Amino acid sequence: MPLCYIAFGSNVEDRLNYIIKALELLKGYGSIKKVSTLYLSQPWGKTDQPVFINGVLEFETELNPIRLLEILKNIERQAGRKPRERWGPREIDLDILLYENHILMLSFLRIPHPYLTERDFFLFPLLELNPNLIHPASKVKLQEYASRLENNLTPFACLLPF
């Protein structure tokens, strides 16, 4: 079964509850293999908003990347996400970071995630799950990108087992 990595985050109200609800819903579409430590992270892009809880999970699914994106958007709505401004506060956010070694460049979906190597809350939890990952497009080890990126994450919690 294809293996992918999905980032998740929340910075509104009961952040942990939104994350747990979304991950419970996701389990109906495949198998969550591993979940990173949950981290507190500063907002990216639009910085005048509450701190996020972020993490990454390793997920096996038979869904193709486009169908997986549709399911993730559905799960966000079911878990309580409300429409808001881009990069603004979110009840729950789910992003596909990597899907096998696929490279996909569509107007509505880019894999690997276009900000994968720039966001500490994507890169460091991802490497916690698999330190040997290689960027499918650049063929550079993600550890190399991490060595150039400041890690401003604060460990918050672990979800074991999931």
Q: What is the dihedral of CA 87, 49, 84, 30, to 10 degrees?
A: 60
The backbone torsions φ and ψ at residue 140, rounded to the nearest 5 degrees and listed phi first, read -95, 140
**Cβ pair 143, 134 in contact under 8 A:** no
**Residue 60: beta bridge partners?**
3, 31
Cβ neighbours of 27 (radius 10 Å): 11
Residue tagged active-site, from 93, 110, 120, 148: 93
**Is 81 in the active site?**
yes
**Is 119 in the active site?**
no
Residue tagged active-site, from 14, 15, 95, 110: 95
Give the integer Cα–Cα distance in Å for 41 and 39.
Answer: 6
Q: Scan for tokens 């992270």, then name that residue.
A: 41
Give the integer Cα–Cα distance in Å for 32 and 24.
Answer: 10
Q: Scan for tokens 């939104």, then name that residue.
A: 18
Catalytic site residues? Answer: 81, 90, 93, 95
